[in-house]
Homo-oligomer: A and B are copies of this chain.
Amino acid sequence: MPKTTTTYHHGDLRNALIQAGLSILQTDGEATLTLRKVAREAGVSHAAPYRHFADKTALLSAIAQQGFDLLTAQLQAAATDFSDTPQRILLETGLNYIQFARQYPDHFRLMFGGVLRAAGPDAPLRAAAEQTFAQVVNAVATSQACGIVKAGDTHQLATTAWSMAHGLADLAVEGMLGQPTNSTADVEQIARFSLQQLLVGLLGR
C-alpha cells in the first residue's frame, strides 16, 4: 500500500497541519489562526494536533521555520541568478529579502515575532534563521572578493547589511515606507536607494 502517499494513520498530519496553518496565515492573518481551525482544515479532531506539537506555539514555530527555509532558498536562487555579475549580489539579495517580506507579510511577521525570541539558542528555528543569515554572509563574502566591499570581519559586515534589509522589510510590511501610496514602485525605489547608500559606506573609500 505505498500506492497513495504514505504508510500510516492519516498520511502525515504534522505536514498537513503546517500546510493548513500556512494557508490560513496567508489568507486571514495570524490573528485568526486558531489551533482548532487548523485541525478542522486538516480534517481531524481539535485535539489531534497535540500528537505532533506540544502546543500552539510549537506549530507556529514550525511554520516560521518553514518560512526561513523558503527565504533561504529564495536568496540562494537570487545569488545563482547573479553569479556572473557578483557586484550586484548584495543589492539583489537585499531587494529579494524585502520582496519576500512584502509577498508573505504575515509569514514574515510570524518569523520575527516572538517565536524566535522565545526559541532557545539551540532551537531548530534559530538554526533555520541562521541559515538565512548565512546567505547574507555569502553575499558579503562574494562582494568582498570582487572588491565592492572592503576587507574586514565578514560576519560583522553581513550583520550590518542584514539589519539594513531587515529594517526596510519590516517598515515596508508595516506600511511606513513611501508614506502616501506605499506602492511597489515606491518601496523598490527607497529600498534600492537605501541599500546603495550603505554599499557606498561598505566600500569604504
Contacts and interface: CB of A to CB of B under 8 A. Distances in A.
- Top 8 nearest A-B pairs (CB, nearest first) are A167-B167, A201-B201, A163-B167, A200-B201, A160-B194, A166-B167, A197-B201, A163-B168
A190 interface: yes
A148 interface: no
B174 A116 contact: yes
Interface of A: 30-31, 105, 109, 112-114, 116-117, 121, 129-130, 133, 156-157, 159-160, 162-171, 173-177, 179-180, 190, 193-194, 196-202, 204-205
B197 A117 contact: no
Contacts of A109: 113-114
Nearest to A177: B159
A200 B193 contact: no
Given A167-B166, A168-B163, A176 B133 contact: yes
B202 A197 contact: yes
Nearest to A160: B194
B160 A163 contact: no
A193, A201, A202: most-surrounded residue (chain B CB, <10 A): A201
A37 to B, nearest CB: 18
Given A117-B173, A170-B170, A197 B160 contact: yes
Contacts of A202: 197, 201
Contacts of A177: 159, 163
A161 B171 CA distance: 12
A182 to B, nearest CB: 8
25 contacts: A31-B114, A109-B113, A109-B114, A112-B170, A112-B174, A116-B174, A116-B176, A117-B174, A121-B175, A129-B176, A133-B176, A156-B190, A156-B193, A159-B177, A159-B194, A160-B194, A163-B164, A165-B167, A166-B170, A167-B168, A167-B169, A167-B170, A197-B202, A198-B198, A201-B202
